[in-house]
């Protein structure tokens, strides 16, 4: 459940910006049918920054309910205040989720010791498996491999979503941790290379709209069939890149609506809909991927 193609699921909303239960069910059914390994609910792609604390918890629990045991659900539980991250994590104890994805604290840019103490404190307040999430482009802070190695000694810290885009990080981390520590790519465009170097899968934005292809690519990579995996990846590459033509999840929400997976592409301010200039670019990528 912590390997293969794990979708960083969008949070579907209606025209008024309320969470749309019917679209969420449709998305979950799509991922079950497509072979997605697991769902990350209310991560960055799920607009965690603009959901209230209560909404955050409600969306995760709705996802668990609608998944109904058919696909594992991982909750995004990160915050830049350790106390808030602990509170959010503790809410999901005995909830039915299989683990938590916890992002590096953003904006306040802690030291490596601060990062260690932050994640350690969260892990000590739950028995749920914890996946670290390193994305310096969004947080302004980089969780370095020696700190990852220290955190890997904490029993329920089981892996990392590494989204620096720096492929050398795979071996830098692998050389410092036990063989069962899980390495997940956070970058769709380099995920296959990441797996070829020994990574275990990807937490994917692209999987929102190309779930079956991402699942198959990861299956082939796990089996060592990289030539076949690269054929899929080559077709998806424009999509990997152009889903980030504007800040995530703007483009992937628009693409999801174009494919009929959700009813609207509504986002909450300060995120705004995909611009008219970007729409043909994303549309061409969907066509290149064979999705339209």
Catalytic residues: 133, 161
Question: Which backbone phi and psi does 201 adopt, to 5 degrees?
Answer: 160, -160
Q: Residue 17: CB partners within 8 Å, gap ≥ 6?
A: 266, 268
Listed residue (39, 88, 92, 98) closest to 63, CA to CA: 39
Q: Identify whether the C-beta of residue 267 lies closer than 8 Å to the C-beta of residue 273.
A: yes
| 6: helix, strand or coil | strand
Q: Which helix (H) or strand (E) holds 18?
A: none
Pairing status of strand 99-103 against strand 201-204: unpaired
Per the annotation, binding residues are 45, 203
Per the annotation, binding residues for pyruvate are 45, 203
Number of Cβ within a 10 Å radius of residue 155: 11
Listed residue (174, 172, 176, 195) closest to 185, CA to CA: 195
What gap in Å lies between CA 116 and CA 143, rounded to an integer? 9
H helical segments located in the chain: 21-34, 53-67, 82-91, 112-123, 136-139, 145-151, 168-174, 191-196, 211-222, 226-242, 250-258, 279-288
Structure tokens at 210: 């190309």
What gap in Å lies between CA 74 and CA 96, rounded to an integer? 9
- Which residue bears the tokens 């609910």? 41
């Amino acid at each position: 459940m912590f390997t293969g193609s794990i979708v960083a699921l969008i949070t579907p909303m209606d025209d008024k910006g309320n969470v749309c239960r019917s679209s969420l069910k449709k998305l979950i059914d799509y991922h079950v049918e497509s072979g997605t390994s697991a769902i990350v609910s209310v991560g960055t792609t799920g607009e965690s920054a603009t959901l209230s604390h209560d909404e955050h918890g409600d969306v995760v629990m709705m996802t668990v309910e609608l998944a109904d045991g058919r696909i594992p659900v991982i909750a995004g539980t990160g915050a830049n205040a350790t106390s808030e991250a602990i509170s959010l994590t503790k809410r999901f104890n005995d909830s039915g989720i299989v683990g938590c994805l916890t992002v590096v604290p953003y904006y306040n840019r802690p030291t490596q010791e601060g990062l260690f103490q932050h994640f350690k404190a969260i892990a000590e307040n739950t028995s749920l498996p914890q996946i670290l999430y390193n994305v310096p482009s969004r947080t302004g802070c980089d969780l370095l491999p020696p700190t990852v190695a220290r955190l890997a000694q904490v029993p329920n810290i089981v892996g990392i979503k590494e989204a620096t885009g720096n492929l050398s990080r795979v071996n830098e981390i692998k050389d410092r941790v036990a063989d069962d520590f899980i390495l997940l790519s956070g970058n769709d465009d380099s995920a296959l290379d990441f797996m070829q170097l020994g990574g275990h899968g990807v937490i994917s934005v692209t999987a929102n709209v190309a779930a079956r292809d991402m699942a198959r690519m990861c299956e082939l990579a796990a089996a060592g069939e990289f030539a076949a995996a690269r054929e899929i990846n080559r077709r998806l590459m424009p999509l990997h890149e152009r889903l980030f033509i504007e800040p995530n999840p703007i483009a992937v929400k628009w693409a999801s609506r174009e494919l009929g997976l959700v009813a609207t592409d509504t986002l909450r301010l300060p995120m705004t809909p995909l611009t008219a200039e970007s729409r043909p670019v994303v549309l061409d990528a969907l066509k290149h991927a064979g999705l339209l």
